[in-house]
Every structure is written in C-alpha cells, then in structure tokens.
Amino acid sequence: MGSITQSHEIRVSFKDTDAMGIVWHGNYLAYFEEGREAFGDEHGISYNDIMAQGYSVPVVKSVCEHKKPLRYGDVARIETTFVNTPAAKIIYKYTIFNTDNAIVCTGETIQVFLDKEGSLILTEPEFFKNRKQKMGLL
C-alpha cells in the first residue's frame, strides 16, 4: 500500500510545560496535529482542502505512547507518516524526536470522512483518491 513521511520542527513553548517543567502529556496530541497540518498543507489534503470538497475528517482514534520527556526550549522533530489504505479513512503515524534525535513519543490517529450532513462516508471521496495518486500511492 505504501506510505509517505514528512518532518516538521517545533520549539517547545513555556505554555506547553507543566509544574515539573516538562511537556504536559496532552500536548503531544497537539503536536501530532501540527504534523498532520504540515503534511496536509504540503500534499493538498489540509483541513481547508478537505472542507472545500464538502467533507470533514474528525479524529475517531488516537494513540500516544510516551518514551522520554520534552522540556521548555527543546527543538523537537515530528515525523508524520501517511499510511495508505483503501478504506475511507486517513491514518497517520507519528514519531517525535528530541534535540538529541532520541524518540520521545510515538502515536497514531485515525480520521474518517463525513459529508456536510455529518453522515459517515464509506468509500473514498474521488478528490482524495486523486491526491493519493499525485502522492504516488495509487
């Protein structure tokens, strides 16, 4: 089926840390979203691109496994991998690295397509198939 990976760097903000001076665990999901947005912008499947076609893509599953902490001021690299599937869903896998290139977090999100009325779409929208073809995945 294939996959495509893209990297995106972020600097950890003070607002992202907790009383212990490390990134609060819930912020890793926000970092995953930054990775998704960067990937989508690059490959024509951003939230705006999808909404312009009359769909929304809510996250229906998220998994986050913490390995090491990030701290205020760290530069982290988010590797976002689009996992190709014939199903009408978007699967991303994530690996976040710290400044020393050590893995600090891994995860996955699954999104499904809904039409304008909020009904689940069971087949891949044509525009999405076209984007996957342009990415070399079909």
DSSP class per residue in 71-108:
BTT-EEEEEEEEEP-SSSEEEEEEEEE-TTS-EEEEEE
Q: How far is CA 97 from CA 76, 86, 87, 110, in A?
A: 6, 29, 30, 21
Domain 3-133 carries which CATH code? 3.10.129.10
Three-state SS for 127? helix
Among 16, 18, 41, 100, which one carries the catalytic annotation? 18
* Contact of 57 with 24, CB cutoff 8 Å: no
Q: How far apart are CA 54 and CA 45, in angstroms?
A: 13
**Would you state the pLDDT for residue 1?**
65
Q: Give the largest Cα separation in the chain, rounded.
A: 48
**Would you state the pLDDT for residue 138?**
75
* Region class of 31: left (phi > 0), else alpha (psi between -120 and 50), else beta: alpha
What residues does each domain of the chain span?
3-133
Q: Position of tokens 């390995």?
A: 67
Q: pLDDT digit of tens for each residue in the chain (138 aa)? A: 678 999 999 999 999 999 999 999 999 999 999 999 999 999 999 999 999 999 999 999 999 999 999 999 999 999 999 999 999 999 999 999 999 999 999 999 999 999 999 999 999 999 999 999 998 887
18 a catalytic residue: yes
**Would you state the pLDDT for residue 3?**
87
Q: How far apart are CA 111 and CA 87, in angstroms?
A: 11
Q: Which amino acid belongs to residue 62?
A: S
What's the pLDDT tens digit per position in 37-63?
999 999 999 999 999 999 999 999 999
The distance from CA 108 to its chain's CA centroid, rounded to whole angstroms, is: 8
